[in-house]
Chains A and B, each alone.
Chain A
Amino acid sequence: MNTVTKSLTRTAADATPATPALEAREVEVTYRAGAFAKTVLKGLNVTVNPGEFVCIVGPSGVGKTTLLRCLSGLLRPTAGEVRVVGRTVVAPPEEIAVVFQDYSRSLLPWMNALKNVALPLKGRGVSKAKREAKAREVLATVGLSDAAEKYPWQLSGGMQQRVAIARALAYDARILVMDEPFASVDAQTRFELEDLVLELRDRLGICVVLVTHDIDEAVYLSDRVVVLANSPASVIDTVEIDLPFPRDQIATKSLHEFAEFRGRILGEILHSRAQEK
Chain B
Amino acid sequence: MKLTNRFLGILAEAWLPVALIVLWWLASAGSTSLYFPPLAEIVSVGVRDITEGPLLSYAAFSLTNLAAGLAIAIVVGVVAGVILGSSQRLRDAVNPYLQFIRSVPQVALVPLIIGALGIGALPKIWSISFACVWPVLLNTIDGVKGIDTALTDFSKSYRLSKRTHVLDMVLPAALPQIVPGVRTALAIGVIVMVVSEIYGADSGLGYYILQSGRNFAVAETWAGTILVGLLGYLLSRLFEIFEHFALRWHRESSAQARRG
Contacts and interface: CB of A to CB of B under 8 A. Distances in A.
The answer on A and B forming one complex is: yes
A98 B158 CA distance: 8
B164 interface: yes
A123 B253 contact: no
B249 A123 contact: no
A154 B93 CA distance: 43
B150 A119 contact: no
B13 interface: no
B244 to A, nearest CB: 15
A119 B158 contact: yes
A108 B160 contact: no
A152 B175 CA distance: 18
A31 interface: no
A211 B154 CA distance: 17
A74 B150 CA distance: 11
B250 A109 contact: yes
Contacts of B158: 92, 97-98, 119-120, 123, 171
B251 to A, nearest CB: 9
B256 interface: yes
Contact of B252 (A94, A108, A111, A153): A153
B156 interface: yes
B159 interface: yes
Contact of A94 (B154, B159, B249, B256): B159
Interface string A89-117: 00110101110101011101111000000
Contacts of B151: 105-106, 108
Given A104-B257, A153-B256, A122 B168 contact: yes
Interface in A61-102: 69, 72-74, 91-92, 94, 96-98, 100, 102
A71 B4 CA distance: 60
B154 to A, nearest CB: 5
A143 B98 CA distance: 51
B169 interface: yes
A105 B150 contact: yes
Interface string B223-260: 00000000000000000000000000110110111000
Contacts of A98: 153-154, 157-158
A100 B252 contact: no
A151 interface: yes
Interface of A: 69, 72-74, 91-92, 94, 96-98, 100, 102, 104-106, 108-111, 119-120, 122-124, 151-154, 171
15 contacts: A74-B157, A91-B156, A92-B157, A100-B150, A104-B257, A105-B148, A105-B151, A106-B151, A106-B153, A106-B154, A109-B252, A110-B250, A122-B160, A152-B253, A153-B252
Given A74-B157, A152-B253, 13 more contacts: A92-B156, A100-B150, A106-B151, A108-B172, A109-B249, A110-B172, A110-B175, A111-B168, A119-B160, A120-B160, A123-B159, A151-B253, A153-B252
